[in-house]
Structure 1
Amino acid sequence: MATWDLSNAKHHVLICNGSSCNQVGAEELTQAIRKEISDRELDDVIHTTRTRCNGRCHDKCVVIDYPKGTWYKHLTPEDAPLFVDSLYVNEDYIEKVSHSFRGHGFERSSETITGIFKDKEKVKKVSKIL
């Protein structure tokens, strides 16, 4: 296994390769993003990690940019150049943003579904209140 030197990394890109994302091309997206990064010689600045499910299956394919905390949805291999552009200039690829961390929590874009609570007991309690 490799041990990467991350001392120059500005972005850690987490690319979901869970089963829902894989069904719609997560592996192809992973390779397209990595190729774009490599072609631009940005390997020391942008580190990628293929992950398992990130819990936003409705938004497949999901990609997360940390430390900024921006979550992206519906990415395809064709989005790779614009996505890497956005990282390079440190601006969100706004058309594909699902959630943005703003220091106090995540803000959801208006076109993104809310989703369900993680705690099933909370779901039951909220359902009773509503």
Structure 2
Amino acid sequence: MATWDLSNTKHHVLICNGSSCNQAGAEELTQAIRKEISSQEMDDTIHTTRTRCNGRCHDKCVVIHYPKGAWYKDLQPEDAPDFVYSLRANDDYIAKVSHSFDGQVFERSPGVVKGIFKDKEKVNKVSKIL
């Protein structure tokens, strides 16, 4: 297993490769983002990690950018150039932002599904009602 030198890393991109995202083309998206990072010569500053499910299956394909804390939805391989460029410019890729935490408040973009409770107590209450 490789140990990467991450000392120059400024952006960590988590790319969901869970079941729903994989069915929607997550592997192709992962490869497109990685290829674009290389073509923009950003390998030293952008690190990618392929993850399993991030719990936003409705938003497939999901990509998360840290340290900014921005979540992106519905990304496709053709979005890779603009997405990587947005990282380079230290901006959000507005066309696909789902949730953003700009160091202050976690905001959901208009029209984004809220999702289910993570708190087990609240989940149990909702399950009993349904």
Task: Indicate the TM-score class for this superposition, using the shorter chain for normalisation.
Answer: over 0.9
Equivalent residue, structure 2, for 1:21: 21
> How many residues matched?
129
1:59: which partner in 2? 59
Q: Give the direction of change, closer, same or farther, for the CA distance of 1:120–1:78 in structure 2 (3 Å limit).
A: same
What is the TM-score of this pair, normalised by structure 1? 0.92
Secondary structure, counterpart of 1:49 in structure 2: strand
Q: 2:108 corresponds to which residue?
A: 108
Deviations 1:84-105, CA, capped at 9 Å, x for gaps: 0100000000110000113345
- How far off is 1:127 after superposition? 8.1
Residue in 1 aligned with 2:122? 122
1:97 matched to 2:97? The reply is: yes
In the alignment, is the contact (CA less than 8 A) between 2:68 and 2:103 conserved in 1?
A: no
The within-5 A match list for 1:75-90 is 75-90=75-90
TM-score, normalised to structure 2, is 0.92
| Cα distance in structure 2, aligned partners of 1:24 and 1:16 | 11
Instruction: Give the SS at the match of 2:27.
Output: helix
SS of structure 1 residue aligned to 2:107: strand
Describe the SS at the equivalent of 2:81. helix
Name the stretch that deviates more: 118-127 or 18-27. Answer: 118-127
**Relative to structure 2, which stretch is displaced further, 119-128 or 68-77?**
119-128
Counting aligned pairs with the same residue, the percent is 81
- 3-state SS, counterpart of residue 14 of structure 1: strand
SS of equivalent residue, structure 2 residue 80: helix
The secondary structure found in structure 2 opposite 1:22 is helix
Q: Deviations over 1:21-44 (max 9, x none)?
A: 000100000000000001111100
Q: RMSD of the alignment, in Å? A: 1.8
Q: Which amino acid aligns with 1:103?
A: G
The one-letter code sitting in structure 2 at the alignment partner of 1:82 is D
